Amino acid sequence: MNNAEANRPIANRFFEAFDALVAMGKIKSVRSYCDPNGVDRRNMELLRKDPTRNLLQPFWLVPLITEYGVSAKWLLTGKGKMLEK
């Protein structure tokens, strides 16, 4: 398994959590998440369109975990619940 294949499920869960937080009103937009956290919006949109691209950066996950209560275990493994809080 190459890196892109290994990262695909994590990228899919990243967007699943991101979209859930947008739906809950906790994140307003891609811009409101990306800009303060140093995430390149263009790369985020490219990854959303094609999760096989090896664009996911580990630091993209940190705000989901530290600010929004997304489970690190769930993001990385898919096990457990998405939200801890």
pTM (predicted TM-score) = 0.92
Tens-digit pLDDT profile for residues 39-61: 999 999 999 999 888 899 999 99
The span from the CA of 26 to the CA of 68, in Å, is: 8
The span from the CA of 68 to the CA of 29, in Å, is: 14
Q: Where are the domains of the chain?
A: 3-77
- Cβ–Cβ < 8 Å for 70, 27: no
Q: How many helices (H) and strands (E) does the chain have?
A: 5, 0
Tens-digit pLDDT profile for residues 7-37: 899 999 999 999 999 999 999 999 999 999 9
With tokens 């790369």, the residue in question is: 43
